Each structure stands twice: as structure tokens, then as C-alpha cells.
Chain A
Amino acid sequence: MLKISDLKVTVDGKAILNGLDLDVGPGEVHAIMGPNGSGKSTLANVIAGRDGYEVTSGSVAFMGNDLLSMAPENRAREGVFLAFQYPVEIPGVANIALLKEGLNAARRHRGEPELDALDFLKLVREKLRLVEMKEEFLYRSVNEGFSGGEKKRNEIFQMAVLEPRLAVLDETDSGLDIDALKIVAGGVNALRSEERSVILVTHYQRLLDYIVPDRVHVLAGGRIVRSGDKQLARDLEERGYGWIDSSAGAATA
């Protein structure tokens, strides 16, 4: 699904990722953990194609294609979804309007007919239930006046509607209370399938109690310094990132 090789990225001339390798197979859920400033969000943004990140070497292949050469909207239409750490407010634009444009742009891209208003409404109503959101959410301006939890649920709702092949969740758990966390996790779990891969970027192990990953990677100093199964996340929780930092040299040697 996604194969990242020796990825090096700088921001304003400062090296953030220093030769990152990652291989995510179809249907797999990978967690990327690491201390603040380790490059977790940079990785998420580079995959989605945000401006301001300079790739100095390495490659990112998505379904065998060169992802880095695609415009952000084409990555999205090919099935790359980013759940934002800080979802953006867009005053005056209804949630449902943005989603309908996005979904139909993807359908056109794939050569499928656009959904008409009725079929689209049927689809979004079904997906609303997944994240326990009321229908009025559809008609509110995108994220405007939403609480932190509502914004994050909105991201998962959008993901459910767009049905991506690869979902990157950037700190989706941050700022959520336990009830909201369960709803978000429930939504993600409902979308797990053989064809869909998920990358969870998170600082805390807590989310992984609800979305159980296939692989856990620890990012430090712009590289993956340790990989393992879900037990690695628990070890981290107990021993802290300091444990990784001190053993990083050995792990990557």
C-alpha cells in the first residue's frame, strides 16, 4: 500500500526527517509514536502533500505510484486521507457542501458517476451514525464553532464518507475526553478492512487500547528507531521516551 524509503525532509533548511523507512501493507494499522518534535506530524503532512516541506531525498510509493509527484488533491482522490491535528474552520461553507465536492471529485477521478443529492444524503446519514453525530452537523459551517471533540469526530466522519485506502490520523486522540475517544476509535475500527490501511500518529499509548495496531514504530530524531507489536507501546508508556533515546543508537545500528 505505502512504501517509504530513506525519506529525508527539511523545513526552512532544518532537517526533520533523516532517512525514514516505512512499509504499510493493505489492511494494516500502524502506530507511529514518538516524543514532541520527533517528526511525526511532518511525516503525516509529507504524505498528504502540504507545502513547506522539502523532500531532499528518498521516495514514497503509494499503490506502486510516486506519491510525491502528485498534487495534494490527486493524492486525496487516489485515496489518501489525512485527519488533521488541527482541523481548519471555513466560515460560510457547509460541511455537507465540502464533502459532496470532495467525494464527487474523487468519483470523477476514478471514472465513476457523481452521486446525486439524494444518494449522497443517504450515504452521509448512514456515516453520521458511525460517529454519533446529529444531522445538523451537516449544515453547520466546516468546523466553525465546533468543540475540540466535535472537530475530531468530524474528521472521522469525513473519512467514513470518503472511504480512503490509506488514512493518516495525526494526533486525532489529543484533547479528547474518554467518551469522545471511544467514539472516534469505534469509527476507525468500523472502517478497518482488508483494503484499507491506517497510520495512527500519536503521542500517547491510550488510543492504542481502543484501536489495536498491527505494528508500532517509534520515531526519534527523524528516523524510526524501533518497531514492534502493540507491546512496544505499553513498554513506552511504562518507561517513557527517554528509554528509547538512550538506546536509539543501538536500535538503528
Chain B
Amino acid sequence: MNSAVKELGELVGREYKEGFVTDIEADTLPPGLDESVIRFLSGKKSEPDFVLQWRLDAFRRWQAMEPPDWAHVKHAPIDFQAISYYSAPKRDEDRPKSLDEVDPKLLETYNKLGIPLEEQKALAGVAVDAVFDSVSVATTFKDKLAEAGVIFCPLSEAMANHPELVREYLGSVVPQSDNFYAALNSAVFTEGSFVYVPKGVRCPMELSTYFRINALNTGQFERTLIIADEGSYVSYLEGCTAPMRDENQLHAAVVELVAFKDAKIKYSTVQNWYPGDEEGRGGIYNFVTKRGACRGDNAKISWTQVETGSAITWKYPSVLLEGNHSTGEFYSVALTNNCQQADTGTKMVHIGEHTSSTIISKGISAGRGQNAYRGLVKVLKGAKQARNYSQCDSLLMGDRCGAHTFPYVEVKNPTATIEHEATTSKIGEDQLFYCRQRGLSEEDAVSMIVNGFCKEVFRELPMEFAVEAQKLLGISLEGAVG
């Protein structure tokens, strides 16, 4: 495109303030990764120097690492030099101040996905920090949060306005060299959310971020950091959706949670990224590192996830139970249909005394889907009277799918109580026929049976999320029977 045409395009774009007619033009870096890319990323955000140095340090560590090969998933090697590490809507300074200014096409996409932003705003009182092509385009309810003293903003903004908090906690739960993908993220992360809830404050609303991936061949590397100070409470919702694309897209996010004495963090995810087509072409590669640390007594971190999307899910939201009497929870529904592969689970590391953890995992496999639960319960020497309860249930639909369970238990303190239960069942012809004899269509019957199977997890989700999750399971299983 020559410069005259380009200028014209921009002019036209400006004139059509009420509605862009074309795709948002992405300002995308050419594929490839070296130190100059990292300097570019850091410079683009005007980051403090300590962040740049931290990124470069991570990059050097990453270069010495190998991708993990232990997960029960198969994919072609990823060429990290073929990925573009930056994509953003063109006019940084033109970012909308309110929903009215948000690209109607983006809003329309959300509407198609059944996540009307306006309705969310009006009905649920949820503050939304939508990530679109790596840059936030909408942040709402800031005033109300500010009144309570809660900081909720893009991570880049936190670096500028609260560098001391970022410096103290960034990488404090997931170190740069924790694993291959976390190291990559530490080097090239482009956006994400930052939350700080001060002492004794109960966050006045559920915090929510919708991520999606739009630009072709652009990896997304969000980084989220949530800190709940003593006696505070926050519930954070993360929902992911993506439009249909034919290319494999890498996603390697890092989420770090820090809960101090008597603080509680509830982190809920509904993940619905493009899973690829029926033959396994395309789809998102989702390699995520999520970990929370209960840093004080009676702290509690609870992960709830509903994973229905992505071609590959590699994800183990974990809790480090450092404080005495601290609690970690993991509630998970993972669904794989067609050629999807999921290797997901959790790590509960008991360090303090009287720490307890609960793991409820529900895996659903259909089509040729492969679903693995991988969990580690680790009780360190000093963790007197630690308790864990794990329940891993698998549901199979059809005979070409697979369910696998890899529970690991390491106990170094004899006073620990560890319970593990596992079941594998098939959606029975008998169950389906019973429901149909009562008048339900086959699809409604499957949906009802599967939702029943997941009930213990769904009840942990905030109401509006639970409804969305149930719909999602139904949609994801369309065509899985018959």
C-alpha cells in the first residue's frame, strides 16, 4: 500500500466515527524474536527501565530452555521466530474513553458471542477491561473502584503509576525461569490486568476481563497480577472467546495471585478460544501458567475454570499454601471434542501448618478429544496436619476419545490426610433414552446430563458466568452424539 492510499484510508476512517467499515488496522511487528523486539515492546509502553531489564533477563533464560515434552498432547514444533510479538490498534492516542467510542465491530463480535458488553455493564455491575489485540480498549467503573481504593488497570498503566507494587510482586509467584512458556511470557508480555485490593477492603464488584485474539499469527502474551492485601476480598472473572481463524495461534499467559493474611481471591475462567475444525486444523495453543500464593495465615485462593476451547490446553492453576490455615481450591471442567487436547490440573503445595486444599476436576471427552488430568499434591515437612481432598471424574462420549488421570502425591509430613477419588463413566445410552422418553431432544438430553456431571464446579462460578458456561458446554458438544 502506498502512502497516499494509506492516508486516504485513515481520513475515511476518521470521518466514519460512528462505525468503521473495515477491520481495525493492526500495527504489527514482523515475525521474529530477538533483544531488539523486546526493547521495542518495552519502549512502545514507555516502561520503567527495571521492567526492560527484567524482560531481557527472562529472554536470556528462555533462550537456554527447551519446550516441555511431558504433557499428554501432540503438536508440531512451534517456530517461535515465525510469530509476531506485537499487534495493536493503530492509533494509541485515539483509544476510546467509553463504550460509545469502542469500535462497533468489536461490540458486534461480543454480541455474537453472547457477551453483550453494554448489558454486562448495566445488569451485572461488572467493570470490564477488554483486551483487544494486546491493548486495552475499554475500562469502566474505575471511579467506583477508586473510591474503595481498589486499583484495577492495565498492567502497563500500573508500571507507570504504581511501579513500587509492580517491582515487588511481578514474578514473585511465577519466577521468570519457572517454565519455558512462563519465561517467554516474561520476555514478551504485552498486556494484562493489574489488581490491588488494600487492607480490609471487600472489592465492591466482580472484576472481569475479556481476552480475545484477532490478528492472524499474532501470539498473545498477557500477564495478570492480583494482590489482595490483609483481610481483603476480590473475585476476578476471566472470559476468553475468539473468532474463527484457520492458523494456529500461540497463547502463553501468566497469572500471578498474592493473598495475604485473611485475604481471599476467587479467580474464575471461562475459556472458549477457537478449538480448530473437526479435522484438527487451526485452533489456539493455550500454554498458560497460573499460580497463587497464600502468603499469610487464613488466606484463601480459589481457582474455577471451564475450559471448552483451544486446540491444546496446557494449564495448571496452582496454589502455594505458605500461611498456616491457608486454603487452596481448584474446580475445573475441561471439555475436549473433535481433535482437541487438554492436559490440565493443578498443584497444591502445602507449606504451612493446617493448610487444606480441595481439587474437583471434571473431564469430558467427545469425538477424538484427549483429556488428561494432571495434579500434584505436595506436603512439605513443616506442613503439619495438612489436608487434601481430590476428586477426578471423567465422562466419555463415544469410543474414539480418551481420558487420562495423572495424580501425583508427595507427602513429607506423616500427619497429612490425603483423599483421592476418581471415576470414569460413559454417557449411557440408558440415560439418553430415559431423558428422551420424557420428551427431551437428544441434544438437550446430552446437555442436561453433562451439566449435571459438572454441577459441583458450576456452583462455584458467579451466577452470570455459570449460565454462560452451561450454554457453552451445549454449543461445544453440538454434533457429539448420534
Interface residues in chain A, defined as those with a beta carbon under 8 Å from any beta carbon in chain B: 48-51, 71-73, 75-77, 81-82, 84, 87-88, 90-93, 97-99, 101-103, 105-106, 109, 141-142, 158, 162
Contacts and interface: CB of A to CB of B under 8 A. Distances in A.
A88 B441 contact: no
B139 interface: no
A229 B325 CA distance: 73
B137 interface: no
B45 to A, nearest CB: 46
Contacts, number: 78
Contact of B438 (A49, A99, A141): A99
Interface string B436-470: 11111110100011011111100000000000000
A75 B429 CA distance: 17
B434 A76 contact: no
Nearest to B441: A73
Given A51-B433, A90-B434, A97-B448, A106 B439 contact: yes
Contacts of B434: 84, 87-88, 90, 142
B445 to A, nearest CB: 8
B243 interface: no
23 contacts: A48-B433, A71-B436, A72-B436, A73-B437, A77-B439, A81-B437, A82-B437, A84-B437, A88-B431, A88-B434, A90-B448, A90-B449, A90-B452, A91-B453, A92-B452, A92-B453, A93-B452, A98-B440, A98-B448, A99-B438, A101-B440, A109-B439, A158-B438
Given A84-B437, A93-B448, 13 more contacts: A49-B437, A72-B437, A73-B436, A81-B437, A87-B434, A88-B434, A90-B434, A91-B453, A92-B455, A97-B448, A99-B438, A101-B439, A101-B440
Q: Chain B's interface: helix, strand, loop or mixed, by majority?
A: helix
Contacts of A99: 438
Interface of B: 428-431, 433-442, 444, 448-449, 451-456
A48 B455 contact: no
B438 A102 contact: yes
B451 A162 contact: no
Nearest to B452: A92
Contacts of B441: 73, 105
B306 to A, nearest CB: 15
A48 B451 CA distance: 25
Given A51-B433, A90-B431, A98 B453 contact: no
A48 B437 contact: yes
Given A101-B444, A103-B439, A50 B433 contact: yes
Closest 7 CB pairs of A and B: A92-B452, A102-B438, A93-B452, A92-B455, A102-B439, A105-B439, A88-B434
A171 B249 CA distance: 57
A92 B447 CA distance: 12
Nearest to A52: B429
Contacts of B431: 88, 90
A92 B452 CA distance: 4
Contacts of B430: 88
B437 A98 contact: no
A114 to B, nearest CB: 12
B351 to A, nearest CB: 34
Nearest to A77: B439
Contacts of A49: 436-437
Contacts of A48: 433, 437
A73 B456 CA distance: 28
Nearest to B438: A102
Contacts of B452: 90-93, 141
A90 B435 contact: yes
A51 B439 contact: no
Given A51-B433, A88-B430, A93-B448, A76 B454 contact: no
Contacts of B435: 90, 98, 102
A98 B449 CA distance: 10
B40 to A, nearest CB: 51
B241 to A, nearest CB: 26
A50 B429 CA distance: 9
Contact of A93 (B437, B442, B449): B449
Nearest to A141: B452
